[in-house]
Amino acid sequence: MDSCEVKGRDENELRRHVHANSVDRHVIRKLLKRFSFHALVKASALKHEVAFSIDDTIRSLDVPEEIISTLLCYLELHEKRYVECAKSFLMVVQCRLERQQKECPPLAMALALHKNKSGEDPNILEFPVIDVAAAMGWESGICKNKLKNLEWITVNNQSRRSSLSVQFSNLGFRLLAPGNLSDDELDAALDTLFNRVVDQEKKALLQLRAVHKSLMEITQPSFRSCISTDDSLIKNKVREYFNSSDPLVFVIEDQPKKFNEEQLISDIRALICMYRDNTFTGRSIARIFQGIQSPNYPATMWGRCKFWRSYLDIDFHTIVRIATLEIIKMR
């Protein structure tokens, strides 16, 4: 393997990290539905609290938490301020029912809304605090404080633990979202996020290409050659990059390499048949073929698959496109 081939493979390895941060359009649509649906149904004010489970969202979208948080921040930074991000919090309350519910309006409201949904133990009530807060017109933080105070009583002017236990679970994203978005506005928010993701991916790939091109121009056959080489060339390139108003304008994108499409299709079909219990997408298959882990396809498990990192040299989006077509054909 010659040096150019090695450097090309190194660049492909770095490309994996760029593609790992990108998401599909339909995934962004699912994310928007996580809070826009609740907003449209419940809201009577311009904006109100919305919360949805972090773990459940990660599993459903197959996207890491940090990427979901980034997408929500993009919406917050938009000129229309589609959402306002708030601190994540534990959104589900579980408490044992006793006489104290008469002294606590949030618990009384929770009983009215969710008593018929109790589990095996009728004395234990589990409910989402956001729903109760919305029904009362309170902030969730006030409701949580009132509920937590049920664990304490005052006896002889001294605070003591009561027999009531209140537990919070299920960490969730918390937003202030408008309740009057039209379908066109939701589509506009979707377009904004997707275009931002696509532009960011293109920019990152061009930056990687620019670094690779610059390093290739100054590379030397051995370390001895580097000793006598003037280091001003690389300094000038770095200075030129940061002083330019558009340093990527002259960077040329790589052209997709030729490959055996029939073999790729055969491997895609083989992967789907080997793991029939998995609901693959074109992107999830492309990730496996290029060794990019995701929440539902971790490297610790899927690294043992024979197709893991088997197509590093092929354009990522080409694999996504072909895999998506094959998934549709096999349904």
Q: Which of 115, 142, 128, 137 is nearest to 52 (CA)?
A: 128
CA atoms of 121 and 249, how far apart (whole Å): 65
| 266 falls within a domain | yes
Number of other residues whose CB lies within 10 A of the CB of residue 150: 20
Residue 100 DSSP one-character state? G
Contact criterion met (CB below 8 Å) for 133 and 143: yes
Same domain flag for 306 and 204:
no
Least confident range of 35-39, 110-114, 320-324: 35-39
What is the Cα–Cα distance from 264 to 201, expressed in whole angstroms?
Answer: 24
Are residues 187 and 297 both part of a single domain?
A: no
* Whole-structure pTM value: 0.84
In a domain, 253, yes or no: no
Statement to judge: residues 199 and 300 lie in one domain: no
Q: Report pLDDT for 6.
A: 45
Q: What is the mean pLDDT of residues 108-124?
A: 76
Same domain, 34 and 164: yes
Residues 57 and 94 sit within 8 Å (Cβ to Cβ) = no
Number of domains in the chain: 2
Across the range 211-232, mean pLDDT stands at 75
**Does the residue 278 lie in any domain?**
yes
pLDDT, tens only, 145-188:
999 888 888 888 888 888 788 899 999 999 988 766 778 888 89
Asked if 147 and 295 sit in the same domain, the reply is no
In angstroms, the CA 272 to CA 71 distance is: 30
- Judge whether residue 260 has pLDDT over 90: yes
The C-alpha angle with vertex 122 and arms to 137 and 50, in degrees rounded to 5, equals: 25
**pLDDT tens track for 189-206:** 999 999 999 999 999 999
With beta carbons less than 8 A apart as the criterion, state whether 12 and 312 touch: yes
- Residue 37 in domain: yes
Query: Looking at the structure, do residues 200 and 272 belong to the same domain, yes or no?
Result: no
Residue 218 and residue 115 share a domain:
yes
Please enumerate in sequence order all residues whose Cβ is within 8 A of that of 140, keeping only pairs 6 or more positions apart, or say none: 49, 51, 89, 91, 129, 130, 133, 174
What local confidence, expressed as pLDDT, does residue 330 receive?
Answer: 92
Residue 240 has what pLDDT?
A: 83
Query: What is the spatial distance between Cα 136 and Cα 37, in angstroms, rounded to a whole number?
Result: 20
CA 280 to CA 35: how far, in whole Å? 25
d(CA 255, CA 262): 20
Residues 288 and 165 in one domain: no
Tokens of 46: 């311009």
pLDDT value of position 3: 47
Q: Is residue 10 assigned to a domain?
A: no
Are 45 and 154 contained in the same domain?
yes
125 bridge partner residues: 95
For residue 283, what are the β-bridge partners? none
Note whether residue 279 is domain-resident.
yes
User: pLDDT (tens digit, 9 = 90+) per residue, 275-325?
Assistant: 999 999 999 999 999 999 999 999 999 999 999 999 998 999 999 999 999
Do 47 and 164 reside in the same domain of the chain?
yes
Query: What gap in Å lies between CA 194 and CA 205, rounded to an integer?
Result: 17
What angle do the packed helices 25-42 and 54-61 form, to 10 degrees?
A: 140
Please report which confidence band the pLDDT of residue 10 belongs to, taking 50, 70 and 90 as the band edges: low
- Asked if 93 and 126 touch (Cβ cutoff 8 Å), the reply is yes
Confidence class of residue 9 from pLDDT cuts 50, 70 and 90? Answer: low
| Domain presence at residue 212 | yes
Domain for residue 237, yes or no? no
| pLDDT band, residue 246 (cuts 50/70/90) | confident
**pLDDT value at position 264?**
97
- As a whole number of Å, the end-to-end CA separation of the chain is 41
Q: Is the C-alpha dihedral spanning 152, 155, 157, 158 positive or negative?
A: negative
35 shares its domain with 99: yes
Quick: pLDDT tens for 234-243: 788 888 888 8
Residues 35 and 150 in one domain: yes
SS3 126: strand
Task: Summarize the confidence of residues 89-103 as an average pLDDT.
Answer: 75
Written as six digits, the tokens of 317 are 């989006």
**Domain of 113, in residue numbers:** 20-225
238: nearest Cα among 206, 209, 214, 202: 214
The answer to whether 35 and 42 are in contact (CB under 8 A) is no
